[in-house]
A and B are shown apart, each in its own frame.
Chain A
Amino acid sequence: MISIDKFAYISGLKKVNPMEKFIFAMVTMFVCIALNNIIDSIIILLLMAIITVFKGKIPLKTYIRFMSLPLAFLILSVLTIAINVVGTSSGLIFSFSIFNIKFGCTYESILTATRIFFKSLASVSCLYFLTLNTPIFEVLSVLKKLKVPKLFVELMGLIYRFIFVLLDTANMIYISQNSRLGYSTLKTGFNSLGKLIANLFISSYKRSQDIYTAMESRCYDGDINLLEYNYTYSYKNISLIIVVEMVLIIINFN
């Protein structure tokens, strides 16, 4: 999880306007889902991979590893679509029965499964493009510009910041417990884990109060106002996005 976050800060596309990246990822994803076309999905998959690996400078190996994360879920769910309960035996590629129920696989169902497989993978690659190339606070500023309720954006920002603080604290408690043999047997392990979680709650609560105090002392008045980054729109990028989407749509209707 954390390593995904790190890549966004060293990405070669870090300087690109986050709004452009956001629009590119989202529009491509919607186009991919709406068109529901295997060729388009494969093109999107390759396109996102090429941009992320060559422009974003994310190592190819890492990218493949990230892409294979959702693969297990995907294959499982696609299998259930490909293999169905069938009534007749016409047009079956293969079939088998369990307890007198006949399961089979038709040409149609395989096509649907393949379509869904590539569609999901392509959509995931769009999201990876966004997360691997855009630091969270830039995504947040895009959401703010898109008039997402302020409360959500503020909460997302705070949660993101404190995930790391929470992980640090948990890690520290874990090490101190472990160094005192807190995890030597299964029983003490569960006992220690329970105490770790309880303590984490208490220390989080305490920290939230400390943070509030610190914010109050800086004239906090209920609204978190932060300076937004200034980005210029690049006409080249915007026209490229439009061209890519148009090409994808044209391929679908040919």
Chain B
Amino acid sequence: MSKYIFETKDLSFQYPDGTQALKNINLKIEKGKKISFLGVNGSGKSTLFLNFNGVLKPTKGTIVYKGEEVKYNHKSLLDLRKNVGIVFQDPENQLFSSSVYQEVSFGAMNLKLSEIEVRNRVDDALKNIGMYDYRDKAVHFLSYGQKKRVSIADILVMQPEIIVFDEPTSSLDPKHSKQIVKIFDELNEKGMTVILSTHDVELAYSWSDYIVVMKDGEIFREGTPYEIFSDEKLIQECYLEKPLILDMFQFLCDNSKRTLTNKIPRNKEELYRILKEQ
């Protein structure tokens, strides 16, 4: 078996109204990585995610999960959806039950597990995201951040191998964003492959192992965070912005006329450490 858990081969997708949303996407995703998708609104990130999960069927090309091509019959779709979970951008569009506990149980019940197993999984999922105390609450009394966390538990309960977040930190305050990112890291430490789309370049730069930049339904570039964000031309063409940490670091390097260190800082703490050592 290859080290790639998930691959797309020449994947194209066209909406029924004729919009060509994705063009020849070739992706290889390694197991246990943290991957960010960047790109302006309408660049095809959400459509691609729906293809990952088999909700949309590519008009051309294939998806390969764990070395096996997805065949779009009932069994293979069920298997794909069980293993690739999507947390949607707006929890209001995902939560359909009025009770938190029942809402979270939906995915696990669909896997036809035993009742005890479902109960254990629901409890675990709610504990993982810190919403266990809210299990008997009604969904419409929760705050937006709490709904967001319940929508994550919705997917965790299915225990997928890959979890995909569509713009998870949009419209969250800094405190809740931090909580959510912490949840991503915890999931990743447990061996889950975490994929997210974001407009937050700071998050993408400091958090990801690998970045995919999309533009007009195509993969424009992929690489490590440093590779992506040190490329001025790419940043301009894809309407990105340079992360402040990297920008400052390069400014310091240029002005001190010597390389400060070989290690490029990924976050504030790392930058401070480098400055202190000087």
A136 is an interface residue with CB less than 8 A from chain B? yes
Contacts A135-B138, A160-B98, A161-B139; A217 near B81 (Cβ below 8 A)? yes
Does the CB pair B93–A218 fall under 8 Å?
A: no
A residues in contact with B155, CB < 8 Å: 218
Contacts A225-B109, A227-B115; A214 near B94 (Cβ below 8 A)? yes
A219 is an interface residue with CB less than 8 A from chain B? yes
CB within 8 A of A219: which of B81, B98, B99, B138? B81
Shortest CB-to-CB span from A163 to chain B, Å, is 9
Does the CB pair B109–A213 fall under 8 Å?
A: no
A residues in contact with B109, CB < 8 Å: 225-227
Does the CB pair A227–B102 fall under 8 Å?
A: yes
Please give the number of chain A residues whose Cβ is less than 8 angstroms from any Cβ of chain B in the complex: 30
21 contacts between A and B (CB under 8 A): A136-B98, A137-B99, A137-B102, A157-B97, A161-B98, A164-B140, A165-B140, A210-B93, A211-B93, A211-B96, A213-B55, A214-B86, A217-B50, A217-B81, A217-B86, A219-B82, A219-B158, A225-B109, A226-B105, A227-B115, A227-B122
Does the CB pair A220–B110 fall under 8 Å?
A: yes
Bound-state Cα–Cα, A224 to B119, Å: 17
| Residue in B closest to A228 when the chains form the complex, CB atoms | B102
A207 is an interface residue with CB less than 8 A from chain B? yes
CB within 8 A of A224: which of B53, B95, B106, B118? B106
B101 is an interface residue with CB less than 8 A from chain A? yes
CB within 8 A of A218: which of B90, B98, B154? B154
Please give the number of chain B residues whose Cβ is less than 8 angstroms from any Cβ of chain A in the complex: 42
Bound-state Cα–Cα, A251 to B239, Å: 81
| Besides A14-B136, A229-B101, 16 other A-B contacts (C-beta < 8 A) | A9-B137, A135-B98, A137-B97, A137-B99, A165-B140, A207-B92, A213-B88, A217-B55, A218-B107, A221-B110, A224-B106, A226-B99, A226-B102, A226-B105, A226-B109, A227-B108
B residues in contact with A227, CB < 8 Å: 101-102, 105, 108-109, 115, 118-119, 122
B252 is an interface residue with CB less than 8 A from chain A? no
Q: Which A residues have a C-beta under 8 Å from some C-beta of B? A: 5-6, 9, 14, 135-137, 157-158, 160-161, 164-165, 207, 210-211, 213-221, 224-227, 229
Bound-state Cα–Cα, A216 to B50, Å: 10
B181 is an interface residue with CB less than 8 A from chain A? no
Those of B74-96 within 8 Å (CB) of chain A: 78, 81-82, 85-86, 88, 90, 92-96
Those of B118-137 within 8 Å (CB) of chain A: 118-119, 122, 136-137
Bound-state Cα–Cα, A216 to B122, Å: 19
Bound-state Cα–Cα, A193 to B111, Å: 45
CB within 8 A of B110: which of A161, A165, A213, A225? A225
